[in-house]
Structure 1
Protein backbone atom coordinates (compact mmCIF):
# COMPACT_ATOMS: atom_id res chain seq x y z
CA UNK A 1 0.00 0.00 0.00
CA UNK A 2 1.49 3.36 -1.02
CA UNK A 3 1.85 6.19 1.47
CA UNK A 4 0.93 9.84 1.05
CA UNK A 5 3.53 12.30 -0.14
CA UNK A 6 3.63 16.10 0.21
CA UNK A 7 1.97 18.51 0.60
CA UNK A 8 1.12 17.55 4.18
CA UNK A 9 -2.62 18.23 4.24
CA UNK A 10 -4.99 18.17 7.22
CA UNK A 11 -8.57 17.30 6.26
CA UNK A 12 -11.24 18.35 8.78
CA UNK A 13 -14.94 17.57 8.41
CA UNK A 14 -18.06 18.54 10.29
CA UNK A 15 -20.24 15.55 11.19
CA UNK A 16 -24.00 16.05 11.01
CA UNK A 17 -25.34 16.62 7.50
CA UNK A 18 -21.75 16.78 6.22
CA UNK A 19 -19.87 13.54 6.82
CA UNK A 20 -22.86 11.69 8.26
CA UNK A 21 -26.10 10.78 6.52
CA UNK A 22 -29.47 12.17 7.62
CA UNK A 23 -29.99 9.25 9.99
CA UNK A 24 -26.78 10.17 11.82
CA UNK A 25 -24.78 7.22 10.52
CA UNK A 26 -21.63 6.96 8.44
CA UNK A 27 -22.08 5.27 5.08
CA UNK A 28 -20.10 2.09 4.46
CA UNK A 29 -18.38 3.66 1.46
CA UNK A 30 -17.24 6.57 3.63
CA UNK A 31 -15.87 4.15 6.22
CA UNK A 32 -13.90 2.21 3.62
CA UNK A 33 -12.52 5.25 1.81
CA UNK A 34 -11.54 7.19 4.94
CA UNK A 35 -9.91 4.17 6.58
CA UNK A 36 -7.81 3.70 3.47
CA UNK A 37 -6.80 7.36 3.62
CA UNK A 38 -5.89 7.10 7.33
CA UNK A 39 -4.03 3.82 6.86
CA UNK A 40 -1.92 5.41 4.14
CA UNK A 41 -0.86 8.21 6.47
CA UNK A 42 -3.47 10.81 5.56
CA UNK A 43 -4.35 13.39 8.20
CA UNK A 44 -8.09 13.31 8.84
CA UNK A 45 -10.25 14.33 11.78
CA UNK A 46 -13.66 15.77 12.63
CA UNK A 47 -14.90 19.07 14.10
CA UNK A 48 -18.41 18.82 15.49
CA UNK A 49 -20.87 20.29 17.99
CA UNK A 50 -21.41 16.77 19.34
CA UNK A 51 -19.90 15.51 22.58
CA UNK A 52 -16.80 13.29 22.47
CA UNK A 53 -18.90 10.23 23.29
CA UNK A 54 -21.48 10.96 20.61
CA UNK A 55 -18.83 11.78 18.02
CA UNK A 56 -16.92 8.57 18.76
CA UNK A 57 -20.12 6.53 18.49
CA UNK A 58 -21.01 8.08 15.13
CA UNK A 59 -17.53 7.40 13.73
CA UNK A 60 -16.96 4.04 15.43
CA UNK A 61 -16.06 2.38 12.13
CA UNK A 62 -13.16 4.75 11.47
CA UNK A 63 -9.62 4.03 12.62
CA UNK A 64 -9.12 7.60 13.82
CA UNK A 65 -5.68 8.56 15.08
CA UNK A 66 -5.81 12.37 15.37
CA UNK A 67 -7.57 14.18 18.23
CA UNK A 68 -11.24 14.96 17.56
CA UNK A 69 -12.67 18.46 17.94
CA UNK A 70 -15.99 18.41 19.79
CA UNK A 71 -18.56 20.69 21.39
CA UNK A 72 -18.02 23.21 18.60
CA UNK A 73 -14.30 23.48 19.34
CA UNK A 74 -14.40 23.87 23.12
CA UNK A 75 -13.24 20.30 23.82
CA UNK A 76 -10.49 18.45 21.94
CA UNK A 77 -10.41 14.77 22.83
CA UNK A 78 -8.74 11.44 22.20
CA UNK A 79 -10.49 9.65 19.30
CA UNK A 80 -10.42 6.26 21.04
CA UNK A 81 -10.93 6.93 24.75
CA UNK A 82 -12.74 10.27 24.57
CA UNK A 83 -10.38 11.72 27.18
CA UNK A 84 -10.26 15.52 26.92
CA UNK A 85 -6.91 17.00 25.90
CA UNK A 86 -8.03 20.60 25.94
CA UNK A 87 -11.11 22.41 27.33
CA UNK A 88 -11.84 26.09 26.67
CA UNK A 89 -14.19 27.42 29.36
CA UNK A 90 -16.65 30.26 28.76
CA UNK A 91 -15.90 33.37 30.80
CA UNK A 92 -17.77 33.08 34.17
CA UNK A 93 -18.99 36.67 34.05
CA UNK A 94 -20.56 36.03 30.64
CA UNK A 95 -22.39 32.98 31.97
CA UNK A 96 -23.65 35.00 34.95
CA UNK A 97 -24.85 37.83 32.69
CA UNK A 98 -26.73 35.42 30.43
CA UNK A 99 -28.46 33.73 33.38
CA UNK A 100 -29.56 37.12 34.67
CA UNK A 101 -30.75 38.34 31.25
CA UNK A 102 -32.72 35.15 30.52
CA UNK A 103 -34.92 35.71 33.55
CA UNK A 104 -36.53 38.64 31.71
CA UNK A 105 -37.64 36.36 28.84
CA UNK A 106 -40.32 33.72 29.35
CA UNK A 107 -39.23 31.80 26.23
CA UNK A 108 -35.46 31.98 26.77
CA UNK A 109 -33.59 29.58 29.04
CA UNK A 110 -29.95 28.57 28.60
CA UNK A 111 -28.73 24.98 28.64
CA UNK A 112 -25.22 24.68 30.03
CA UNK A 113 -22.56 22.19 29.01
CA UNK A 114 -19.99 21.82 31.77
CA UNK A 115 -16.79 19.92 32.35
CA UNK A 116 -16.32 18.79 35.94
CA UNK A 117 -14.42 16.01 37.65
CA UNK A 118 -12.92 14.85 34.36
CA UNK A 119 -16.20 14.47 32.48
CA UNK A 120 -18.89 16.47 30.69
CA UNK A 121 -22.38 17.30 31.92
CA UNK A 122 -25.58 18.96 30.70
CA UNK A 123 -27.10 21.36 33.24
CA UNK A 124 -30.46 23.16 33.14
CA UNK A 125 -32.84 24.85 35.56
CA UNK A 126 -35.91 22.58 35.97
CA UNK A 127 -37.92 25.49 37.37
CA UNK A 128 -37.75 27.24 33.97
CA UNK A 129 -38.91 24.64 31.48
CA UNK A 130 -39.32 26.52 28.22
CA UNK A 131 -40.47 24.79 25.04
CA UNK A 132 -36.86 24.81 23.89
CA UNK A 133 -35.59 23.08 27.01
CA UNK A 134 -38.38 20.49 26.83
CA UNK A 135 -37.59 19.70 23.18
CA UNK A 136 -33.88 19.51 23.93
CA UNK A 137 -34.36 17.07 26.81
CA UNK A 138 -36.87 14.95 24.88
CA UNK A 139 -34.26 14.37 22.19
CA UNK A 140 -31.61 13.32 24.69
CA UNK A 141 -33.59 10.65 26.49
CA UNK A 142 -33.32 9.61 30.12
CA UNK A 143 -30.31 7.38 29.38
CA UNK A 144 -28.02 10.29 28.52
CA UNK A 145 -25.50 10.07 31.37
CA UNK A 146 -24.67 13.77 31.03
CA UNK A 147 -28.08 15.00 32.23
CA UNK A 148 -27.78 16.73 35.59
CA UNK A 149 -30.39 19.36 36.58
CA UNK A 150 -29.41 22.45 38.52
CA UNK A 151 -30.77 22.00 42.05
CA UNK A 152 -30.46 23.73 45.39
CA UNK A 153 -28.01 21.16 46.69
CA UNK A 154 -26.27 20.84 43.31
CA UNK A 155 -25.91 24.40 41.96
CA UNK A 156 -24.26 25.45 38.74
CA UNK A 157 -20.60 26.44 39.05
CA UNK A 158 -20.26 29.06 36.31
CA UNK A 159 -16.51 28.40 36.15
CA UNK A 160 -17.15 24.92 34.69
CA UNK A 161 -19.28 26.01 31.71
CA UNK A 162 -17.65 25.59 28.31
CA UNK A 163 -20.67 25.78 25.98
CA UNK A 164 -24.12 27.36 26.16
CA UNK A 165 -27.16 26.61 23.97
CA UNK A 166 -30.51 28.36 23.82
CA UNK A 167 -33.27 26.72 21.79
CA UNK A 168 -36.21 28.99 20.92
CA UNK A 169 -38.10 30.66 18.10
CA UNK A 170 -35.83 32.77 15.90
CA UNK A 171 -37.48 36.17 16.69
CA UNK A 172 -36.96 35.53 20.42
CA UNK A 173 -33.32 34.57 19.86
CA UNK A 174 -32.64 37.57 17.64
CA UNK A 175 -34.16 39.91 20.22
CA UNK A 176 -32.22 38.32 23.08
CA UNK A 177 -28.94 38.53 21.20
CA UNK A 178 -29.55 42.17 20.30
CA UNK A 179 -30.39 43.10 23.88
CA UNK A 180 -27.20 41.45 25.08
CA UNK A 181 -24.88 42.58 22.32
CA UNK A 182 -22.27 43.88 24.78
CA UNK A 183 -22.06 40.45 26.43
CA UNK A 184 -22.00 38.72 23.05
CA UNK A 185 -18.99 40.80 22.01
CA UNK A 186 -16.89 38.73 24.41
CA UNK A 187 -17.84 35.30 23.05
CA UNK A 188 -18.09 33.40 19.79
CA UNK A 189 -21.81 33.04 19.03
CA UNK A 190 -23.84 31.42 16.28
CA UNK A 191 -27.51 31.56 15.36
CA UNK A 192 -28.35 28.49 13.31
CA UNK A 193 -31.13 26.18 12.18
CA UNK A 194 -31.46 22.42 12.63
CA UNK A 195 -33.89 20.25 10.64
CA UNK A 196 -34.28 18.16 13.79
CA UNK A 197 -35.97 21.02 15.67
CA UNK A 198 -38.49 22.53 13.21
CA UNK A 199 -39.83 25.89 14.34
CA UNK A 200 -37.01 26.32 16.85
CA UNK A 201 -33.53 27.67 16.16
CA UNK A 202 -30.31 27.62 18.15
CA UNK A 203 -28.27 30.41 19.69
CA UNK A 204 -24.98 28.93 20.87
CA UNK A 205 -21.94 30.62 22.34
CA UNK A 206 -18.65 29.91 24.06
CA UNK A 207 -15.15 31.30 24.58
CA UNK A 208 -13.61 32.86 21.45
CA UNK A 209 -10.77 30.33 21.67
CA UNK A 210 -13.33 27.51 21.63
CA UNK A 211 -14.44 27.71 18.00
CA UNK A 212 -13.87 24.98 15.46
CA UNK A 213 -11.49 27.34 13.70
CA UNK A 214 -9.34 27.97 16.78
CA UNK A 215 -9.20 24.27 17.66
CA UNK A 216 -8.31 23.33 14.09
CA UNK A 217 -5.52 25.90 14.02
CA UNK A 218 -4.05 24.43 17.20
CA UNK A 219 -4.21 20.93 15.74
CA UNK A 220 -2.75 22.07 12.43
CA UNK A 221 0.27 23.46 14.28
CA UNK A 222 0.65 20.26 16.31
CA UNK A 223 0.70 17.98 13.25
CA UNK A 224 2.71 20.49 11.20
CA UNK A 225 0.27 20.44 8.29
CA UNK A 226 1.17 22.66 5.34
CA UNK A 227 -2.38 22.80 4.03
CA UNK A 228 -5.86 22.77 5.61
CA UNK A 229 -8.98 21.54 3.80
CA UNK A 230 -12.33 21.88 5.60
CA UNK A 231 -15.83 20.51 4.96
CA UNK A 232 -19.13 21.71 6.44
CA UNK A 233 -22.78 22.59 5.97
CA UNK A 234 -23.92 25.11 8.60
CA UNK A 235 -23.28 28.55 10.09
CA UNK A 236 -20.92 27.38 12.84
CA UNK A 237 -18.58 26.00 10.16
CA UNK A 238 -17.99 29.51 8.76
CA UNK A 239 -14.98 30.41 10.96
CA UNK A 240 -13.33 27.12 10.03
CA UNK A 241 -13.96 27.86 6.35
CA UNK A 242 -12.42 31.30 6.69
CA UNK A 243 -9.08 30.00 7.99
CA UNK A 244 -8.83 26.97 5.66
CA UNK A 245 -6.73 26.91 2.50
CA UNK A 246 -9.70 25.23 0.85
CA UNK A 247 -13.26 24.96 2.17
CA UNK A 248 -15.85 22.74 0.52
CA UNK A 249 -19.55 22.92 1.29
CA UNK A 250 -21.75 19.88 0.77
CA UNK A 251 -24.66 20.36 -1.60
CA UNK A 252 -27.19 20.64 1.25
CA UNK A 253 -25.36 23.53 2.98
CA UNK A 254 -26.95 26.80 4.09
CA UNK A 255 -26.54 29.60 1.51
CA UNK A 256 -24.33 31.66 3.80
CA UNK A 257 -21.73 28.89 3.91
CA UNK A 258 -21.92 28.24 0.18
CA UNK A 259 -21.13 31.91 -0.37
CA UNK A 260 -17.70 31.61 1.27
CA UNK A 261 -16.84 28.09 0.10
CA UNK A 262 -14.09 27.22 -2.36
CA UNK A 263 -16.54 24.85 -4.03
CA UNK A 264 -19.76 22.92 -3.53
CA UNK A 265 -19.34 19.16 -3.57
CA UNK A 266 -22.01 16.45 -3.69
CA UNK A 267 -24.79 15.84 -1.15
CA UNK A 268 -23.98 14.48 2.30
CA UNK A 269 -26.16 11.44 1.61
CA UNK A 270 -23.79 10.45 -1.21
CA UNK A 271 -20.52 10.08 0.78
CA UNK A 272 -19.38 13.39 -0.70
CA UNK A 273 -16.63 14.22 1.80
CA UNK A 274 -15.01 10.79 1.77
CA UNK A 275 -15.14 10.55 -2.00
CA UNK A 276 -13.59 14.01 -2.38
CA UNK A 277 -10.71 13.25 0.01
CA UNK A 278 -10.05 9.81 -1.46
CA UNK A 279 -10.00 11.23 -4.98
CA UNK A 280 -7.63 14.03 -4.04
CA UNK A 281 -5.32 11.69 -2.13
CA UNK A 282 -5.22 9.31 -5.06
CA UNK A 283 -4.10 12.21 -7.26
CA UNK A 284 -1.36 13.16 -4.80
CA UNK A 285 0.03 9.63 -4.61
CA UNK A 286 0.22 9.46 -8.41
CA UNK A 287 2.00 12.80 -8.77
Structure 2
Protein backbone atom coordinates (compact mmCIF):
# COMPACT_ATOMS: atom_id res chain seq x y z
CA UNK A 1 0.00 0.00 0.00
CA UNK A 2 1.37 3.39 -1.00
CA UNK A 3 0.78 6.16 1.54
CA UNK A 4 0.52 9.75 0.30
CA UNK A 5 -0.01 12.77 2.56
CA UNK A 6 -0.54 15.46 -0.08
CA UNK A 7 -3.38 15.36 -2.59
CA UNK A 8 -1.20 16.96 -5.28
CA UNK A 9 1.28 14.08 -5.04
CA UNK A 10 -1.23 11.44 -6.12
CA UNK A 11 -2.71 11.44 -9.62
CA UNK A 12 -4.50 8.45 -11.13
CA UNK A 13 -6.21 8.06 -14.48
CA UNK A 14 -8.96 5.93 -12.93
CA UNK A 15 -9.66 4.36 -9.56
CA UNK A 16 -12.19 3.03 -7.06
CA UNK A 17 -12.37 5.26 -3.98
CA UNK A 18 -13.50 4.98 -0.38
CA UNK A 19 -13.54 7.84 2.13
CA UNK A 20 -13.72 8.06 5.88
CA UNK A 21 -11.83 8.48 9.12
CA UNK A 22 -11.79 4.69 9.65
CA UNK A 23 -10.87 5.12 13.31
CA UNK A 24 -10.23 1.67 14.77
CA UNK A 25 -10.88 -0.10 11.43
CA UNK A 26 -13.78 -2.02 13.02
CA UNK A 27 -16.10 -4.68 11.58
CA UNK A 28 -18.16 -2.15 9.65
CA UNK A 29 -15.04 -0.62 8.15
CA UNK A 30 -13.86 -4.08 7.12
CA UNK A 31 -17.12 -4.62 5.23
CA UNK A 32 -16.43 -1.39 3.32
CA UNK A 33 -12.85 -2.49 2.64
CA UNK A 34 -14.01 -5.86 1.32
CA UNK A 35 -16.44 -4.13 -1.05
CA UNK A 36 -13.69 -1.71 -2.12
CA UNK A 37 -11.34 -4.56 -3.02
CA UNK A 38 -14.10 -6.47 -4.83
CA UNK A 39 -14.99 -3.38 -6.90
CA UNK A 40 -11.34 -2.73 -7.73
CA UNK A 41 -10.92 -6.27 -9.01
CA UNK A 42 -14.19 -6.24 -10.93
CA UNK A 43 -13.31 -2.99 -12.70
CA UNK A 44 -9.59 -3.73 -13.01
CA UNK A 45 -8.75 -0.47 -11.22
CA UNK A 46 -6.53 0.51 -8.27
CA UNK A 47 -8.23 1.21 -4.96
CA UNK A 48 -7.80 4.46 -3.04
CA UNK A 49 -8.77 5.09 0.55
CA UNK A 50 -8.96 8.76 1.50
CA UNK A 51 -8.77 9.41 5.24
CA UNK A 52 -8.27 12.44 7.46
CA UNK A 53 -5.91 13.57 10.18
CA UNK A 54 -7.00 15.05 12.49
CA UNK A 55 -10.54 13.77 12.94
CA UNK A 56 -12.92 16.35 11.37
CA UNK A 57 -14.54 17.09 14.75
CA UNK A 58 -11.12 17.91 16.22
CA UNK A 59 -11.06 20.84 13.79
CA UNK A 60 -14.74 21.78 13.68
CA UNK A 61 -15.63 21.22 17.37
CA UNK A 62 -12.37 20.79 19.30
CA UNK A 63 -14.17 21.01 22.66
CA UNK A 64 -16.11 17.82 21.82
CA UNK A 65 -13.53 16.01 19.71
CA UNK A 66 -13.58 12.26 20.35
CA UNK A 67 -10.66 10.39 21.81
CA UNK A 68 -9.29 8.25 19.02
CA UNK A 69 -9.27 4.46 19.10
CA UNK A 70 -6.10 4.33 17.03
CA UNK A 71 -3.39 6.76 15.99
CA UNK A 72 -3.14 7.67 12.34
CA UNK A 73 -0.05 5.44 12.00
CA UNK A 74 -1.90 2.50 13.57
CA UNK A 75 -4.84 3.16 11.27
CA UNK A 76 -2.54 3.08 8.25
CA UNK A 77 -1.01 -0.20 9.44
CA UNK A 78 -4.46 -1.78 9.86
CA UNK A 79 -5.52 -0.61 6.41
CA UNK A 80 -2.36 -2.06 4.91
CA UNK A 81 -2.97 -5.39 6.67
CA UNK A 82 -6.44 -5.58 5.11
CA UNK A 83 -4.96 -6.01 1.65
CA UNK A 84 -7.84 -3.95 0.23
CA UNK A 85 -6.08 -0.63 -0.36
CA UNK A 86 -3.55 0.18 -3.06
CA UNK A 87 -3.21 3.88 -2.23
CA UNK A 88 -3.93 5.52 1.13
CA UNK A 89 -4.30 9.29 0.87
CA UNK A 90 -4.08 11.02 4.27
CA UNK A 91 -5.43 14.58 4.08
CA UNK A 92 -5.17 17.19 6.82
CA UNK A 93 -8.67 18.27 7.72
CA UNK A 94 -8.41 22.05 7.61
CA UNK A 95 -10.54 25.11 6.92
CA UNK A 96 -10.34 24.77 3.14
CA UNK A 97 -11.56 21.18 3.28
CA UNK A 98 -14.28 21.97 5.82
CA UNK A 99 -15.65 24.77 3.62
CA UNK A 100 -15.58 22.85 0.31
CA UNK A 101 -18.97 21.91 -1.07
CA UNK A 102 -19.71 18.30 -1.92
CA UNK A 103 -19.59 19.22 -5.62
CA UNK A 104 -16.19 20.89 -5.31
CA UNK A 105 -14.82 17.99 -3.28
CA UNK A 106 -15.97 15.45 -5.85
CA UNK A 107 -14.94 17.39 -8.94
CA UNK A 108 -11.75 19.00 -7.65
CA UNK A 109 -10.23 15.96 -5.93
CA UNK A 110 -12.02 12.68 -6.51
CA UNK A 111 -12.51 13.14 -10.24
CA UNK A 112 -9.74 15.53 -11.29
CA UNK A 113 -6.92 13.89 -9.31
CA UNK A 114 -8.05 10.34 -8.60
CA UNK A 115 -10.12 9.61 -11.71
CA UNK A 116 -12.85 8.09 -9.54
CA UNK A 117 -15.10 5.63 -11.34
CA UNK A 118 -16.82 4.20 -8.28
CA UNK A 119 -17.26 5.47 -4.71
CA UNK A 120 -17.57 2.74 -2.08
CA UNK A 121 -18.65 4.07 1.34
CA UNK A 122 -20.74 3.24 4.38
CA UNK A 123 -24.46 3.74 3.86
CA UNK A 124 -24.46 6.67 6.32
CA UNK A 125 -21.63 8.54 4.56
CA UNK A 126 -21.83 12.30 4.05
CA UNK A 127 -19.30 14.83 2.81
CA UNK A 128 -19.03 18.49 1.91
CA UNK A 129 -19.98 21.72 3.63
CA UNK A 130 -23.02 21.21 5.83
CA UNK A 131 -22.79 17.45 5.20
CA UNK A 132 -24.76 17.97 2.00
CA UNK A 133 -23.23 15.07 0.10
CA UNK A 134 -25.21 12.04 1.24
CA UNK A 135 -25.57 8.83 -0.77
CA UNK A 136 -28.52 10.07 -2.85
CA UNK A 137 -26.88 13.41 -3.61
CA UNK A 138 -23.59 11.80 -4.61
CA UNK A 139 -25.41 9.23 -6.73
CA UNK A 140 -27.22 11.96 -8.68
CA UNK A 141 -23.94 13.84 -9.12
CA UNK A 142 -22.35 10.65 -10.42
CA UNK A 143 -24.88 10.32 -13.21
CA UNK A 144 -23.54 13.50 -14.83
CA UNK A 145 -19.88 12.89 -13.98
CA UNK A 146 -19.36 9.27 -14.93
CA UNK A 147 -19.08 7.47 -11.61
CA UNK A 148 -21.41 5.33 -9.51
CA UNK A 149 -21.87 4.97 -5.77
CA UNK A 150 -21.86 1.69 -3.85
CA UNK A 151 -23.24 2.11 -0.31
CA UNK A 152 -22.25 -0.61 2.17
CA UNK A 153 -24.47 -1.48 5.14
CA UNK A 154 -22.57 -1.21 8.41
CA UNK A 155 -23.35 -4.58 9.96
CA UNK A 156 -25.00 -4.82 13.35
CA UNK A 157 -23.34 -6.67 16.18
CA UNK A 158 -24.72 -8.23 19.35
CA UNK A 159 -21.42 -7.73 21.17
CA UNK A 160 -23.20 -5.69 23.84
CA UNK A 161 -26.22 -7.97 24.11
CA UNK A 162 -28.25 -5.87 21.70
CA UNK A 163 -28.11 -5.08 18.02
CA UNK A 164 -26.13 -1.90 17.38
CA UNK A 165 -24.69 -0.43 14.23
CA UNK A 166 -20.96 -0.91 13.90
CA UNK A 167 -19.37 2.47 14.44
CA UNK A 168 -16.29 4.06 15.94
CA UNK A 169 -18.62 5.97 18.28
CA UNK A 170 -19.99 2.71 19.70
CA UNK A 171 -16.49 1.22 20.05
CA UNK A 172 -15.38 4.32 21.97
CA UNK A 173 -18.42 4.10 24.23
CA UNK A 174 -17.68 0.49 25.07
CA UNK A 175 -14.02 1.19 25.81
CA UNK A 176 -14.77 4.24 27.93
CA UNK A 177 -17.36 2.39 30.02
CA UNK A 178 -14.87 -0.44 30.62
CA UNK A 179 -16.50 -3.14 28.49
CA UNK A 180 -13.30 -3.95 26.63
CA UNK A 181 -14.50 -7.46 25.79
CA UNK A 182 -17.49 -6.13 23.84
CA UNK A 183 -15.28 -3.50 22.21
CA UNK A 184 -12.94 -6.27 21.04
CA UNK A 185 -15.89 -8.08 19.44
CA UNK A 186 -16.78 -4.94 17.49
CA UNK A 187 -13.15 -4.19 16.56
CA UNK A 188 -12.41 -7.87 15.87
CA UNK A 189 -9.27 -7.56 17.98
CA UNK A 190 -8.35 -6.39 21.49
CA UNK A 191 -8.18 -2.65 22.01
CA UNK A 192 -4.50 -1.69 21.92
CA UNK A 193 -2.62 1.43 22.96
CA UNK A 194 1.01 2.48 22.81
CA UNK A 195 2.52 4.02 25.94
CA UNK A 196 5.82 5.29 27.32
CA UNK A 197 7.56 3.72 30.31
CA UNK A 198 8.30 6.39 32.91
CA UNK A 199 9.64 4.30 35.81
CA UNK A 200 11.25 0.92 36.33
CA UNK A 201 9.70 -1.54 38.72
CA UNK A 202 11.08 -1.66 42.26
CA UNK A 203 13.27 -4.69 42.93
CA UNK A 204 10.49 -6.41 44.88
CA UNK A 205 8.10 -6.10 41.93
CA UNK A 206 9.98 -7.57 39.01
CA UNK A 207 7.90 -7.46 35.84
CA UNK A 208 6.11 -4.20 36.66
CA UNK A 209 6.37 -0.80 35.04
CA UNK A 210 4.75 2.60 35.38
CA UNK A 211 3.57 3.92 32.03
CA UNK A 212 2.24 7.22 30.72
CA UNK A 213 -0.86 6.85 28.58
CA UNK A 214 -0.99 8.68 25.23
CA UNK A 215 -2.97 11.90 25.02
CA UNK A 216 -6.07 11.96 22.87
CA UNK A 217 -6.38 8.15 22.76
CA UNK A 218 -9.44 6.30 24.04
CA UNK A 219 -8.68 4.34 27.24
CA UNK A 220 -10.89 2.42 29.69
CA UNK A 221 -11.88 3.96 33.03
CA UNK A 222 -10.12 3.47 36.36
CA UNK A 223 -9.88 -0.23 37.16
CA UNK A 224 -7.93 -3.45 36.68
CA UNK A 225 -7.85 -5.23 33.33
CA UNK A 226 -6.51 -8.55 32.10
CA UNK A 227 -4.44 -7.99 29.00
CA UNK A 228 -1.06 -8.36 27.40
CA UNK A 229 2.06 -6.24 27.00
CA UNK A 230 4.90 -6.12 24.53
CA UNK A 231 7.97 -3.93 24.28
CA UNK A 232 7.87 -2.22 20.90
CA UNK A 233 11.59 -2.68 20.30
CA UNK A 234 13.07 -6.17 20.02
CA UNK A 235 10.28 -8.16 21.68
CA UNK A 236 8.14 -10.09 19.20
CA UNK A 237 6.00 -11.88 21.81
CA UNK A 238 3.08 -10.63 23.83
CA UNK A 239 3.19 -11.41 27.56
CA UNK A 240 0.13 -11.80 29.82
CA UNK A 241 -0.32 -8.74 32.00
CA UNK A 242 -2.53 -7.06 34.56
CA UNK A 243 -3.12 -3.43 33.65
CA UNK A 244 -3.97 -1.12 36.54
CA UNK A 245 -5.51 2.17 35.49
CA UNK A 246 -5.49 4.54 38.44
CA UNK A 247 -7.05 7.88 39.21
CA UNK A 248 -3.83 9.74 38.39
CA UNK A 249 -4.43 11.38 35.03
CA UNK A 250 -2.53 9.72 32.22
CA UNK A 251 -0.72 7.12 34.33
CA UNK A 252 -1.06 3.35 34.68
CA UNK A 253 0.84 0.35 35.97
CA UNK A 254 1.49 -2.88 34.08
CA UNK A 255 2.26 -6.12 35.92
CA UNK A 256 3.70 -9.00 33.94
CA UNK A 257 6.36 -11.69 34.37
CA UNK A 258 10.05 -11.29 35.18
CA UNK A 259 10.93 -11.18 31.48
CA UNK A 260 9.10 -7.86 31.17
CA UNK A 261 11.71 -5.31 32.19
CA UNK A 262 11.48 -2.24 29.94
CA UNK A 263 13.70 0.75 30.61
CA UNK A 264 12.32 4.25 31.31
CA UNK A 265 11.83 6.10 28.06
CA UNK A 266 11.08 2.95 26.08
CA UNK A 267 7.79 2.32 24.31
CA UNK A 268 5.39 -0.53 25.04
CA UNK A 269 2.14 -1.74 23.53
CA UNK A 270 -0.71 -2.73 25.83
CA UNK A 271 -3.81 -4.78 24.99
CA UNK A 272 -7.02 -4.98 27.04
CA UNK A 273 -8.86 -8.33 27.17
CA UNK A 274 -11.38 -8.02 30.00
CA UNK A 275 -12.03 -6.43 33.38
CA UNK A 276 -10.19 -8.09 36.27
CA UNK A 277 -10.78 -8.17 40.02
CA UNK A 278 -8.93 -5.50 41.96
TM-score normalised according to structure 1 size = 0.25
Q: Max radius of gyration: which structure?
A: 2
Where relative contact order (Cα < 8 A, 6+ residues apart) is larger, the structure is: 1
TM-score normalised according to structure 2 size = 0.25
Indicate the structure with greater strand content: 2
Indicate the structure with greater helix content: 1
